[in-house]
Amino acid sequence: MAKNDLEGMRVAILCTDLFEQAEMTEPRKALDDAGAVTVLIAPHTGKVQGVKHDRKADEFEVDVALEDASPEDFDALLLPGGAMNADALRMEEKAQEFARAIDRSRKPIAVICHGPWLLVSAGLTRGRTMTSYHTIQDDLKNAGAHWVDREVVRDGNWVSSRKPDDIPAFNREMIALFGESRGRKAA
């Protein structure tokens, strides 16, 4: 994908403390490099704490508090993983509604690792084919998803991936999906 293929596309990155850092920073860099405008959204203001597996890593400035974020202002959604991040975020009703609104509008959603927990709690996974970190496959299956063990899976307006090792494939498919949705929007 060329440098400016996503020029001006606004991508919401929704997470909270203890997200898996590489699953936010590496896709964010890929999106920024493709010309997208990425906005870090969290249930609180200030900073969010990243982790590298089970160790605290860097903190990142929140761009917009979830209560002030409107799904209508965004063209796509990125959901990083990290078990504690995803477990806390799935309990946020505003986060669930944000994801529902993005999906209702058929805007693309990219989700990795434990990130699908929010989509499960939002009631969005029934009938979807997707992947995730292997430890939450039962949650996805029980919520009606068809879970597969592949590095990346595209299903309609969603792309999902398993873990940090899969980020190169995830980024490639995310950028392609977001670019295709941009093309449909312009048509």
3-state SS class at 144:
coil
Element (H, E) at 33: helix 21-33
Count of other CB atoms within 10 angstroms of residue 13:
25
- Annotation says 114 is catalytic: yes
Quote the CA–CA distance of 122 and 120 in Å, as a whole number: 5
Instruction: DSSP letter for 179, please.
Output: H
Catalytic residue among 44, 53, 114, 146: 114
SS3 175: helix
Closest to 76 measured CA to CA, from 176, 149, 169:
176
Task: Read off the tokens for 105.
Answer: 């509008």
Give catalytic residue positions.
114
